[in-house]
Structure 1
């Protein structure tokens, strides 16, 4: 990991009014570079450098117009942004990633329930009209169309390819589903839980966009919820409703597409996730 460029650090210091101490806080398997900034008075902020302009634009939009709907302390606040450096200066959110904590089953359920409450708020945020509504309405078809880009690299058997093609076809035939402003990467690594404050928070909005609401449930459905139906139930309780039958069909189809995308990469973690999802789909036990 390269160090923080002096020009970017100087911009952050000028914005904060003091020169901070910078500590690399980047996470594995992500392209973004993140530094924890600590001011002389102990105040903490985060400086995030987006890997691509689109991700910078998406996160900036989310933090300005949608994430504030989650409430104070439940998402970062955008202190400043710098398009030249694709830099975002963010406030710290209480808590740590669920991926980094060992919690009691009761606290895990509580964190997922709070996470569901916050995701419902996010889904209702943003003005869903005009081009944004059109973008959201086209999201499922775009996901189905994109599956073909990875299918030849996923190393599937003939029956598996047939299954995935059938799922993408079914996805294209579903009726219109509820639309939302989605987080885009709603998984445990981006869901924080503060034991002190007993509250949750979401971070990393660089994949956020207007889409179908059900698309935000794919990451959890293909990871944590696989072995923990109790956490799925807690999350949806917080979200305020169960998925409709059509959304459940869409979730199954999207899981197949997610599996192909994972298997097309050479990351062992993604490969294991994709293989497990595909095996469950082949066995007919994905729900």
Structure 2
């Protein structure tokens, strides 16, 4: 970690005032240098989390999501926003039941159930945002923005991507432009690290909405499609059953194009944050795209 394992005194004081008591504090950050999250335990036994966003845009996105869209998921299915502090880029969040699916040893039946529920929750989120005015324009521009970012990703990835792979990524990025796709308010980082499962309750919850935004709905399926669904098509089926529909042909094609961009992004972010799992996801996706087996 590059940050202190305790919040600054001013930040902790703000959280204590918001909660009405001084909590005990435990570091709950992800194992990467820019993650700053703390678990706050109250004398009553109630638990909250204090999160400091890495950038103002992340703070703004998560605050908007938690105030205006996330409540549609229902009680216990996502954190609730207790308080926010723009000066510190800080969010005070309620705790939700469960642990990240990637940390649990679930039966195949539990995994299917969890993914079906996750898809149903994502469907609620997708229709929760007010998709009008400038927000619709933002969503309509999302694929163009993704395609425009291809060159930056390729430049940062350097020799981790071969010349042939670079050409493939550029070709697929160009095919994103102008695709007419269903729009939504998306989670933006919907994968196993942010999907909780409570064995006691038998239910899922989504966390971490700092990348939530208005975009093409299919953009929310990229992390799973490039990750766990690769080896578990049954989980993809369950997820889309919960979501309530399959992807239309244009979305299927867009998913392939977006996977190429995600792969290069992973080959940048993985080494940057010393996350071999993300790096491996990027390399495997590119290999599958080159082999023509990505579906």
Return the TM-score normalized by structure 2: 0.95
Instruction: Give 1:269 deviation, angstroms.
Output: 2.5
Residue 168 of structure 2 aligns with which residue? 163
Structure 2 CA distance, aligned partners of 1:161 and 1:23?
Answer: 43
Instruction: Give 1:30 deviation, angstroms.
Output: 6.7
Given the superposition, is the C-alpha separation of residues 173 and 15 from structure 1 closer, same or farther in structure 2, using an over 3 Å criterion?
closer
Residue 281 of structure 2 aligns with which residue? 273
Provide the secondary structure at the position in 1 that maps to 2:76.
coil
**Offset from partner CA, 1:236-281 (integer Å, 9 cap, x none):** 0000000000000000000001111112342433221111000000
Residue 113 of structure 2 aligns with which residue? 110
Residue 137 of structure 1 aligns with which residue? 140
Structure 2 CA distance, aligned partners of 1:120 and 1:145?
Answer: 27
Contact 2:144 2:178 in 1 (8 A): no
Instruction: Give 1:152 deviation, angstroms.
Output: 2.6
Over the residues paired in the alignment, what is the CA RMSD in angstroms?
1.1
Q: Choose the corresponding residue for 1:6, options 2, 6, 9.
A: 9
Moved over 3 A (4+): none
Residue 245 of structure 2 aligns with which residue? 241
Q: Choose the corresponding residue for 2:189, options 185, 188, 212.
A: 185
Residue 62 of structure 1 aligns with which residue? 65
Alignment size in residue pairs: 286
Contact 2:197 2:204 in 1 (8 A): yes
Moved more, 25-34 or 135-144: 25-34
Q: Choose the corresponding residue for 2:23, options 20, 24, 48.
A: 20
Matches within 5 A, 1:65-214: 65-154=68-157, 155=159, 156-174=161-179, 176-214=180-218
Residue 40 of structure 2 aligns with which residue? 37
Residue 217 of structure 1 pairs with residue 221 of structure 2? yes
